[in-house]
Structure 1
């Protein structure tokens, strides 16, 4: 009887640990997805702002050579955006199930095309 109680207790503990790990993993995934989407939105907005300001920057650069070259500014903004997006992207790829990985990779491809 003691052996049966012992095995049942171990099984219950193992089941509880599995459930708790699943809940922890879901929480980690959710945080990773939210961080990725937040970073994505922020960086895309900045890139769109840089694109909108492109013509005025080119005009200003032509008028005053002391200003930063618009192409260099665009490269800098893109590099900063890629570093931030890539960091969160790697975390999602590490934690996510395959269907999420596919969606994130599609967003990565879109970002690369935008660059």
Structure 2
């Protein structure tokens, strides 16, 4: 074979190899760039989700605190047979708690929504107990009234306990990876 042809063939093979190598390199770089963008988006979404959850949990804990204070005031008023009726503040606090509950449910994870539902049910039970105690006040059923006062106090203790549990679970949820729940 002529040396000129060999040089031309070698040049052509080198050129094709160079173009192929450049194309492969470009594909690898593009895939790496896409992965980097995807990873950054995942990180940013996780940060946003954590912030959303933190705000929802904080609001709910503040709502539980308000319910606790209102239950305490209502139980105290009923137990002391005070003239005033502290139930209006309790009704308002429970209404706010319900609104905050939806924030927790939408922020997730599921176990936090379930815990918020349980806390809301306990707040509702406390309201019913306080109302029953209020209605029994001044009646001839002093034993029933005393039992209802005890039950109202137990309701407050359950609200306190669920508040502590919610705070612990919220801290755990916020310290875990956002997509685990």
Normalised by the size of structure 2, how large is the TM-score?
0.52
CA distance in 2, matches of 1:49, 1:13: 54
Superposition RMSD in Å: 1.6
The structure with the larger Rg is 2
**Residues 49-89 of structure 1, C-alpha deviations (whole Å, 9 max, x = no match):** 1221231116xxxxxxxxxxx3xx52x32331122111111
1:95 aligns with 2:121: no
Query: Which aligned runs of 4 or more in structure 1 are off by greater than 4 angstroms?
Result: none
Question: What residue in structure 2 maps to residue 10 of structure 1?
Answer: 34
Mapping for residues 1-115 of structure 1, pairs under 5 Å: 1-54=25-78, 55-57=81-83, 70=85, 74=87, 76-115=88-127
- 5+ residue gaps, structure 1, are 59-69
Equivalent pairs counted in the alignment come to 101
Counterpart of 1:63 in structure 2 is none
The structural deviation recorded for 1:12 is 0.8
Q: Which has the higher contact order (CA 8 A, sep 6+)?
A: 1
Cα distance in 2 between the residues matched to 1:94 and 1:41 = 21
Shift of 1:23: 1.5
Q: Give the secondary-structure state (helix, strand or coil) at the position aligned to 1:53.
A: helix
* Conservation of the 8 A alpha-carbon contact between 2:59 and 2:100: yes
